[in-house]
Structure 1
Amino acid sequence: MIIGSILKTKGSEVFSVGPEDTILSVARSLTERRIGAALVRDAGGALLGIISERDIVGGMASHGPGTTGLKVEEFMTRDLVTVTPQTHVTHALALITHRRVRHLPVLDGEGRLCGMVSIGDLVKARIDEAEQEAEALKAYVAAAG
């Protein structure tokens, strides 16, 4: 299975924030939307990074009290780990494990944003795929027997 298959079901909408947004506003938005990360984009839509719950907690631990008024650009991760719609789910899972991230922006061959997948999306896709394989094997065995 490839990432593009996940996006067909999930959709391509991605929540984004600006680098000048405050940590408090982003934390509230993540909580309201029940998501763990948002892409950081400039006014023109260019991808600058990602801000995750982990970034926020780490920034608060480093900066101490008063961090909620600080800007996203001070906490965000700039070194993005990305995939394409053609990336296999197993490869994406390996990236997430190796790079210790939970979200992967999906970029097309020209670097345009197509969506974003989370570790939950990838695990669900693998489970669905394994269940389909098991059903196919059961049907094969039943037909052969």
Structure 2
Amino acid sequence: MPSSYQAPSRKDKMQATTHSQTTESNLTHETATVRKILEKKGSDVFSLRPQNTLHEAVVMLRDKKIGAVVVKDSEGKLQGILSERDIVRRLAETPGQTLPQQVEDIMTKTVEVCQPDDALISVLRKMTAGRFRHMPVVDDGVLVGIITIGDVVNYRLTELEYEALQLKQLIVG
């Protein structure tokens, strides 16, 4: 027997095992909600009053680099939403006379809203069916944010990248 040989000891049998992941943790899937987007995005909402002019709206859309603005009354209650698309339609209808008009004249008054705990898939379906890209988020009657179709798509892409990484780790070990 070589002199360097050592008989197995009890410690050799007690190999440390680590579990950075389990099948359960890799396959568990939480429902993605509006709240998760707002946690990352924040709750900033740019708004105008119904009496503001379309010129003021266009300047805000340009300066804030947004595609829609929420319209609220003096008490902060949601009155409507005004999108770039609304403005373009009015420009075509009243060329040269559009910018002095008031926001309330062309805003969408019946606004589809969602709540923080709504599933993103249901919000995405509403947006697709209604052919709109911006949706105010209301919690207990209070406007708490706005999400866009781009927010939902970006969230889902990040989620898919994470799922692909998890699967790769599951395969590689």
Q: TM-score, normalised by structure 2?
A: 0.80
Cα-Cα RMSD: 0.8
SS at match of 2:132: coil
Deviations 1:62-113 (A, max 9, x none): 22321100000001001111111111111111111100001010011x2211
Matched, 1:23 2:24: no
Aligned mate of 1:6, from 22, 37, 53: 37
Whether the aligned pair in 1 keeps the contact of 2:77 and 2:142 (CA below 8 Å) is no
Aligned mate of 1:102, from 124, 133, 142: 133
Please list every run of 5 or more consecutive structure 2 residues that lacks an aligned counterpart in the other structure. 1-31
Q: Return the alpha-carbon distance in structure 1 between the equivalents of residues 76 and 94 of structure 2.
A: 29
Aligned mate of 1:122, from 141, 152, 162: 152
Shift in Å, 1:26: 0.6
Q: Return the alpha-carbon distance in structure 2 between the equivalents of residues 57 and 139 of structure 1.
A: 49
Whether the aligned pair in 1 keeps the contact of 2:33 and 2:116 (CA below 8 Å) is yes
Deviations 1:11-33 (A, max 9, x none): 11100001010001110110011
Matched, 1:68 2:65: no
Q: Return the alpha-carbon distance in structure 2 between the equivalents of residues 48 and 59 of structure 1.
A: 19
More helix by share: 1
Whether the aligned pair in 1 keeps the contact of 2:53 and 2:100 (CA below 8 Å) is yes
Q: Return the alpha-carbon distance in structure 2 between the equivalents of residues 81 and 130 of structure 1.
A: 27
- Which has the greater radius of gyration? 2
How many residues matched?
Answer: 142
Whether the aligned pair in 2 keeps the contact of 1:89 and 1:126 (CA below 8 Å) is no
Q: TM-score, normalised by structure 1?
A: 0.95
One-letter code of the match for 1:34?
K
What's the % identity of the aligned pairs? 39
Whether the aligned pair in 2 keeps the contact of 1:106 and 1:114 (CA below 8 Å) is yes
